Chains A and B, each alone.
Chain A
Amino acid sequence: MCLAIPGKIADIKDGYAEIDYGGVSKRASLRLFENAKVGDCVLVHAGFVIQILDQDAGDELEKIFEEITGLMGEEEMISSSDKEENSLTGKEK
């Protein structure tokens, strides 16, 4: 139910954004995020843009992760970086 799909704003007209989901386009309301701009990557939930995605957050997540786990500088966590990529990780790197 709380499923939200990421997409990119291709156009904005009359309070609605045309969202490009990698080739498929659909309209979404900007009522909950009126400052969104063309080119923004956004989360869309049931026809509404609910949040702008922070494209630099990958680094931030890494930083938080290292802070919490104390892994900064440890080599063992990246020991398998040369291994064949795990299919589960095929996303935002």
Chain B
Amino acid sequence: MKYEIEDIKKRIAELAEKREQVTIMEVCGTHTASIRKYGIQELLPDNIRLVSGPGCPVCVTDQGDIAAAISIAAQQNVIFTCFGDMMRVPCGDTSLYSLYERGKDIRIVTSPMDALHIARKNPDKQTVYFGIGFETTAPLTAALIEAADECGIQNLSVLSAHKTMPQAITQLLKNGSCIDALICPGHVASIIGADTFSFVSSELMLPAAVAGFEAYDIMVALLCIMHMLETGEKKCVNMYPRAVTRHGNKEALSLLYKVFEPCDVLWRGLGEICDSGLGIKECYEKFNATHKFDIHIHDNYKDSDIEEAKGCICASILCGKSIPDDCANFGGACTPDKPLGACMVSSEGCCAAYYNYKNIK
């Protein structure tokens, strides 16, 4: 690209001069981390505020789902597999990591397919994979279930907490909010296609840009958004064309909806959102861990067992209503080494990103 960050920064500042306050939300944990890592907020004038929405899958996973995971992982003869971040999400006075410390067989995987290999090597045990993530990750879990079915694997199941992004964005922004524009998640868009986010401009009446994850990608997306705010145009622009097409990855989407179907689920901070979850279809029910282990999420737990830490404001942060600095626990009682809330656990959580890059100026 022929434009320099300094030039883009200057142009954004010129456009911002004409406005009072602009609040731009990003809904992707990888954007959250990139914005903090590259000090993007510090490149912007004071009246442009970047806030994080419900874009970190670890953070938005409801306490009931975490409790279900812990309940399964605690059982005899189970190998419980998950991405590393999920291990440390607190749930009352326990977590998957504390179970691991007490000797339960809980294994970190870097790909859902690792769970298939573990299941094959351990035919006398039940292997369970905890599926979290949005449309970027859910097709991978679908591939795991499809492969397990094709190979006739009997001792593997999936606890699905997968979610889809458009419904959450709509729920959060439909009834008016302080958000002026949206940075759309680049890798979710690489699967579902840039066109899928056109509802942000056409229905929610907000300018939006699908963005990549380098500093340059984010800055050009912000400049485009500022221009649209200036001209009053409401479009969703694909500013990540090297990885995002209009219609996304059709093979991935086809596999996703071969295995999963939309269902109502709870999000931390946002509550229940209609059709925003991905439940395993009946034809693959034998791979559904909630059926296999007879788990009834939310029925088996007292709220007091799974409630969030006192003073934790993760719910408000995930809605873009607060920032980590507003939390009394932030950086003191709650740090990445000893997280009290989910947003401090994952490196893509808003609190962890603020904490890890707090000295960038």
User: A residues touching B (Cβ–Cβ < 8 Å)?
Assistant: 1-4, 29, 31-34, 43, 45-48, 50-51, 53-55, 57-58, 60-62, 64-65, 68-71, 76-81, 83, 85-86, 88-89, 91-93
A3 contacts B242, C-beta separation under 8 Å? no
Q: Sort chain B's interface into a size bin.
A: 35 or more
A80 contact from B7, B190, B214, B348, Cβ within 8 A = B7
A32 contacts B58, C-beta separation under 8 Å? no
A89 contacts B251, C-beta separation under 8 Å? no
**Chain A's nearest CB lies how many Å from the CB of B282?**
23
Residue of A nearest to B253 (CB): A32
**Chain A's nearest CB lies how many Å from the CB of B201?**
13
What residues on A are CB-neighbors of B23 within 8 Å? none
Q: Which of B64-72, B89-97, B222-230 contacts A (4 or more CB under 8 A)?
A: B222-230
B255 contact from A31, A46, A91, Cβ within 8 A = A31
Q: Would A2 and B134 be within 8 Å (CB), given that A29-B143, A61-B242, A69-B227 are in contact?
A: yes
In the docked arrangement, what's the CA distance between A61 and B346, Å? 31
B111 contacts A33, C-beta separation under 8 Å? no
B30 contact from A2, A46, A61, A69, Cβ within 8 A = A2
A83 contacts B58, C-beta separation under 8 Å? no
Q: Flag whether B320 is at the interface (Cβ < 8 A).
A: no
In the docked arrangement, what's the CA distance between A67 and B346, Å? 37
| Binary flags per residue of B167-192, CB closer than 8 Å to A gives 1, else 0 | 00000000000000000011110110
**Chain B's nearest CB lies how many Å from the CB of A7?**
13
Extra inter-chain contacts (18) besides given A50-B136, A68-B228, CB under 8 Å: A1-B56, A1-B137, A4-B136, A32-B139, A33-B251, A45-B140, A46-B83, A46-B112, A47-B110, A53-B243, A61-B239, A61-B240, A62-B2, A65-B223, A69-B224, A77-B7, A88-B38, A92-B216
In the docked arrangement, what's the CA distance between A76 and B237, Å? 23
What residues on B are CB-neighbors of A29 within 8 Å? 111, 113, 143
Q: Would A46 and B1 be within 8 Å (CB), given that A32-B252, A61-B239 are in contact?
A: no
**Chain A's nearest CB lies how many Å from the CB of B116?**
11
**Chain B's nearest CB lies how many Å from the CB of A70?**
7
A4 contact from B3, B4, B132, B190, Cβ within 8 A = B190
A86 contacts B242, C-beta separation under 8 Å? no
B5, B7, B30, B132 interface centre (most CB from chain A within 10 Å): B7
**Chain A's nearest CB lies how many Å from the CB of B37?**
11
**Chain B's nearest CB lies how many Å from the CB of A60?**
5
Residue of B nearest to A62 (CB): B1
Q: Flag whether B249 is at the interface (Cβ < 8 A).
A: yes
What residues on A are CB-neighbors of B136 within 8 Å? 1-2, 4, 45, 50
B242 contact from A46, A48, A58, A76, Cβ within 8 A = A58
A65 contacts B239, C-beta separation under 8 Å? yes
A33, A79, A88 interface centre (most CB from chain B within 10 Å): A88
Residue of B nearest to A86 (CB): B5
Q: Flag whether B6 is at the interface (Cβ < 8 A).
A: yes
**Chain B's nearest CB lies how many Å from the CB of A12?**
16
B5 contact from A34, A78, A88, Cβ within 8 A = A88
Q: Flag whether B241 is at the interface (Cβ < 8 A).
A: yes
What residues on A are CB-neighbors of B191 within 8 Å? 50-51
A54 contacts B241, C-beta separation under 8 Å? yes
What residues on A are CB-neighbors of B190 within 8 Å? 4, 43, 50-51
In the docked arrangement, what's the CA distance between A93 and B30, Å? 22
B251 contacts A86, C-beta separation under 8 Å? no
Residue of A nearest to B188 (CB): A2
Q: List 5 A-B contacts (CB under 8 A).
A: A46-B111, A61-B239, A65-B3, A65-B223, A71-B11
**Chain A's nearest CB lies how many Å from the CB of B5?**
5
A92 contacts B242, C-beta separation under 8 Å? yes
Q: Flag whether B269 is at the interface (Cβ < 8 A).
A: no
A29, A34, A45, A76 interface centre (most CB from chain B within 10 Å): A45
B30 contacts A1, C-beta separation under 8 Å? yes
